[in-house]
């Protein structure tokens, strides 16, 4: 539906249209077959940008100077990037998780896990992550001893990031079902594992919700339905200490404490050419209590919460972003057009 011309003009005048300066371009050359089956991912650490490219290689670049520090074969390509945690890089290679030295890319150890699917966290010298091991597990890995200290079967829940609270972790056990563990691997709820043969989603202590907010409130039932949230997703969720932001099917939501809805906006209402397209990447790039930066419809959108308006819009269609990471005023973009990694300075 076309919106009144006056409204469109007024909206556009209020938006700062910024230019981009390309300060980095990777130099891979791909075969047609590598680009046809297109998977690629990027992640950033303190000094490195790592790029799992469509040619099955992992490239590490100096984040400041742009030169390549090292490269190594991963023998796989994925939309899930390797992770930085505990001073190392944790990568999902062909058949096993490997621990890499960030300085050289050298393999330091193979882990007893076939995949690593969610961002690891470190608590008291123990690395926690989810991946495929024994059908899908939450895994605790002792960094000093260089060994797995415990693992718990969670089936398909390994594809969803746990919530790591100070005294416990809340781990997905498939779909909208979640289990609470202590950091020693024991169930929080007494008697939860009384039936040793029970599938994780059938345990008596399982809780049902779609997601948790910054203040640990459960999003479920009518609230989840109103926000179009399902256990399948796709959903982009990010939090600050005071708010939870959700990007779902072209709608941006902000929740305060106790699930209070502070904002709800359909992004397509901000301009006629921002209609939701489920085939294009949708990412929450950065959030603060004042504004949200979004990758949406091949645009970088900056929405100001207090003023309730779009304050910046950057056209990225020349790169057709496949995946992006925003770091300050710099945007690292994997182009869906040529498969290369670009660094863009947002002017």
**Tens-place pLDDT, residues 214-238:** 999 999 999 999 999 988 766 799 9
Region 9-32 average pLDDT? 72
pLDDT score, position 255: 97
Distance (Å, whole) CA 41 – CA 340: 11
pLDDT score, position 3: 42
Region 5-22 average pLDDT? 51
Please determine, for residue 245, whether its predicted confidence score (pLDDT) is greater than 60: yes
pLDDT score, position 207: 94
pLDDT score, position 18: 60
pLDDT score, position 110: 93
pLDDT score, position 134: 74
273-328 residue pLDDT tens: 888 898 999 999 999 999 999 999 999 999 999 999 999 999 999 999 999 999 99
Please determine, for residue 11, whether its predicted confidence score (pLDDT) is greater than 90: no
Please determine, for residue 9, whether its predicted confidence score (pLDDT) is greater than 70: no
For residue 227, give Cα distances in angstroms to 44, 195, 214, 216, 275: 31, 36, 17, 18, 18
8 Å CB contact between 89 and 81: no
Distance (Å, whole) CA 173 – CA 160: 9
pLDDT score, position 2: 40
State the average pLDDT for the chain. Answer: 90
Region 192-206 average pLDDT? 81
Distance (Å, whole) CA 326 – CA 28: 22
Region 260-282 average pLDDT? 91
8 Å CB contact between 323 and 306: no
pLDDT score, position 105: 97
Confidence of residue 1 (pLDDT cuts 50, 70, 90): very low
What is the CATH number that goes with domain 1-30+212-347?
A: 2.40.10.480
pLDDT score, position 12: 39
Distance (Å, whole) CA 111 – CA 145: 12
Please determine, for residue 191, whether its predicted confidence score (pLDDT) is greater than 60: yes
pLDDT score, position 8: 35
Q: Tokens for 148? A: 């797995």
54-112 residue pLDDT tens: 999 999 999 999 999 999 999 999 999 999 999 999 999 988 999 999 999 999 999 98
Please determine, for residue 5, whether its predicted confidence score (pLDDT) is greater than 80: no
Region 243-265 average pLDDT? 95
What are the structural domain ranges in the chain?
1-30+212-347
3-state secondary structure of 9: helix
pTM, two decimals, is 0.91
Closest CA to 330 of 310, 305, 300: 300
What's the DSSP call for residue 58? Answer: E
Please determine, for residue 198, whether its predicted confidence score (pLDDT) is greater than 80: no
């Amino acid at each position: 539906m076309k919106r009144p011309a006056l409204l469109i003009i007024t909206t556009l005048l209020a938006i700062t249209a910024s230019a981009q300066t390309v300060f980095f371009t990777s130099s891979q050359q791909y075969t047609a077959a590598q680009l046809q089956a297109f998977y690629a991912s990027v992640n950033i650490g303190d000094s490195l940008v790592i790029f799992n490219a469509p040619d099955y290689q992992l490239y590490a670049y100096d984040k400041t100077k742009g030169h390549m520090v090292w490269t190594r074969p991963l023998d796989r390509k994925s939309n899930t990037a390797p992770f930085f945690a505990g001073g190392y890089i944790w990568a999902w290679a062909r058949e096993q998780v490997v621990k890499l030295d960030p300085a050289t890319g050298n393999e330091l150890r193979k882990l007893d896990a076939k995949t690593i699917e969610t961002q690891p966290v470190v608590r008291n010298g123990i690395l926690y992550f989810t991946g495929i091991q024994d059908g899908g597990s939450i895994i605790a890995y002792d960094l000093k001893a260089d060994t797995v200290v415990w693992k718990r079967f969670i089936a398909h829940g390994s594809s969803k990031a746990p919530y790591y609270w100070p005294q416990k972790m809340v781990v997905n056990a498939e779909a909208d079902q979640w289990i609470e563990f202590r950091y020693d691997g024991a169930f929080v709820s007494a008697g939860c594992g009384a039936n040793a043969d029970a599938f994780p989603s059938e345990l008596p202590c399982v809780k049902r919700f779609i997601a948790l907010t910054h203040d640990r409130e459960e999003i479920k039932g009518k609230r989840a339905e109103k926000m179009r949230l399902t256990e399948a997703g796709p959903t982009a969720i990010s939090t600050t200490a005071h708010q939870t932001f959700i990007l779902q099917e072209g709608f941006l939501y902000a929740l305060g404490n106790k699930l209070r809805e502070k904002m709800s906006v359909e992004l397509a209402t901000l301009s006629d050419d921002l209609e939701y397209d489920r085939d294009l990447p949708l990412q929450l790039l950065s959030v603060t209590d004042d504004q949200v930066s979004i990758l949406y419809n091949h645009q970088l959108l900056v929405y100001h919460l207090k003023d309730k308006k779009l304050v910046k819009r950057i056209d990225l269609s020349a790169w057709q972003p496949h995946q992006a990471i925003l770091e300050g005023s710099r945007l690292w973009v994997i182009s869906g057009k040529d498969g290369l990694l670009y660094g863009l300075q947002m002017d």
